[in-house]
Copies of this chain bind each other. A is one copy, B any other.
Amino acid sequence: MPASIEDVARLANVSISTVSRVINRRALVNEETCKRVEAAIRELSYRPNAFARGLMLRKSGIVGLVLPDLHGEFYSEIIRGANVQAREMGHNLLISSAMPGDDAESWLSAIGQHALVDGLAMMVSDTMVAGVGPTLAQLNVPIVVLDDEIEGVEHDAVIIDQQQGAQAMMDHLLKDCGAKRVFFVGGLETNIDTQARYKVYKDSLKNAGLKFHKEDVYHLDFTYESAYRLALDTVKSWAGPQHFVFAANDEMAAGIIAGANAKSVEVPKELAVVGFDDTRVAQMIQPPLTTVHVPMSKMGATAIELLCRRIAEPERAPQKVSLEAELVVRSSCGCGGKKD
């Protein structure tokens, strides 16, 4: 069993109070005593018991990050940003995700049971957002919600302004690239991201004086494969001067480009293709993808930052931070990089 504060005290020939004072530097301690205690600590390679400490301090130095899923580059980027920020602020990161089949209750209990997080940063799936409020409130710790809001609990939030990102993309296509016709390839119709991007697409078309064709809109499932298959069928009919495909994520854009290659439709010359998200693949295909950078890593970092701030200062008013999604112009839109 590891050494306790009492062992240190005995070895240094002082009381445990003094040892505690040396460790926490909260009160005056004679310099020589201090040295003796520190020597004893080293000698026994003593480290304070985190439970006992937490019991008094009511703080663990751990913040939780709860995600709906761990698949995909998104979540790993969030985790990465969160981890960096957490360490910067002297906290550790507890990670959990919902499992298929979890309901809100059992999902949260996984973290809640071990009620030793000082705060929780969480992203909820569309299907769960409704039920979690009350349970969350019981947890009685600061909450930061990622890219959403939750009813029934006070919480900080960090959201990504996708609207504006999609708008920037459409503006770029219509104004800078001189698009004459734009096809839209979205994810599932029920997906809120798809919906947001679709709305911007439709409105922008109207504002630019272009006709909106219902048959120019497709709904797939966000995967490369689905887009590839679709492209094999239809890419020939899409091709044309100043014709564009706006895919709702990079994977689908990549699939479309691959399909176009297979059908000898040249991208971006005969058909330009743009994506969304700016995931790693965007740089790894030919031509490199014009897309919208969604700052997931920054979102993770910001969430943790808000959280730690709030832990330190519980009475602060709830805050909502909005992060910008930024247009990234590469070659797949064919405009050669002009941006304004």
Which residues of A are interface residues toward B (Cβ below 8 A)? Answer: 2, 45, 47-52, 54-55, 58, 60-62, 70-71, 73, 75-76, 79-80, 83-84, 87, 92-97, 99, 110-116, 138, 140, 224-225, 251, 254-255, 258, 261-262, 280-281, 283-286
B73:A87 contact, CB within 8 angstroms: no
- Subset of 7 A-B contacts with CB under 8 Å: A51-B55, A60-B114, A71-B80, A73-B73, A92-B94, A92-B110, A93-B95
Across the interface, name the chain B residue whose C-beta is closest to A56. Answer: B51
A258:B286 contact, CB within 8 angstroms: yes
Cβ-closest 6 pairs across A and B: A76-B76, A51-B54, A50-B116, A51-B55, A70-B80, A258-B286
Across the interface, name the chain B residue whose C-beta is closest to A55. Answer: B51
CA A116 to CA B59, docked complex, whole Å: 12
Contact for A284 among B49, B93, B255, CB less than 8 A: B255
CA A261 to CA B284, docked complex, whole Å: 13
CA A297 to CA B100, docked complex, whole Å: 17
Chain B min CB distance to A146 (Å): 17
Chain B min CB distance to A225 (Å): 8
User: Assuming the A-B contacts A92-B96, A140-B2, are A284 and B224 also in contact, with contact meaning beta carbons closer than 8 angstroms in the complex?
Assistant: yes
A83:B96 contact, CB within 8 angstroms: yes
Chain B min CB distance to A172 (Å): 24
Chain B min CB distance to A41 (Å): 12
Contact for A76 among B51, B70, B225, B254, CB less than 8 A: B70
User: Assuming the A-B contacts A52-B55, A55-B52, A70-B76, are A224 and B92 also in contact, with contact meaning beta carbons closer than 8 angstroms in the complex?
Assistant: no
A254:B284 contact, CB within 8 angstroms: yes
B138:A45 contact, CB within 8 angstroms: yes
A261:B281 contact, CB within 8 angstroms: no
Residues of chain B within 8 A of A55, CB atoms compared:
49, 51-52, 55
B62:A94 contact, CB within 8 angstroms: yes
Contact for A94 among B70, B94, B97, B113, CB less than 8 A: B94
Across the interface, name the chain B residue whose C-beta is closest to A80. Answer: B70
Name which of A58, A60, A76, A281 has the most chain B CB atoms within 10 A of its CB. Answer: A76
B96:A93 contact, CB within 8 angstroms: yes
Chain B min CB distance to A72 (Å): 8
CA A58 to CA B50, docked complex, whole Å: 10
CA A54 to CA B54, docked complex, whole Å: 10
Residues of chain B within 8 A of A285, CB atoms compared:
258, 284-285
B258:A61 contact, CB within 8 angstroms: no
Residues of chain B within 8 A of A116, CB atoms compared:
50-51, 54, 60, 116
User: Assuming the A-B contacts A45-B138, A49-B115, are A70 and B95 also in contact, with contact meaning beta carbons closer than 8 angstroms in the complex?
Assistant: no
B96:A94 contact, CB within 8 angstroms: no
Chain B min CB distance to A87 (Å): 6
Chain B min CB distance to A234 (Å): 17
Residues of chain B within 8 A of A99, CB atoms compared:
84, 87
Across the interface, name the chain B residue whose C-beta is closest to A255. Answer: B284
Name which of A95, A113, A284 has the most chain B CB atoms within 10 A of its CB. Answer: A284
Residues of chain B within 8 A of A255, CB atoms compared:
284
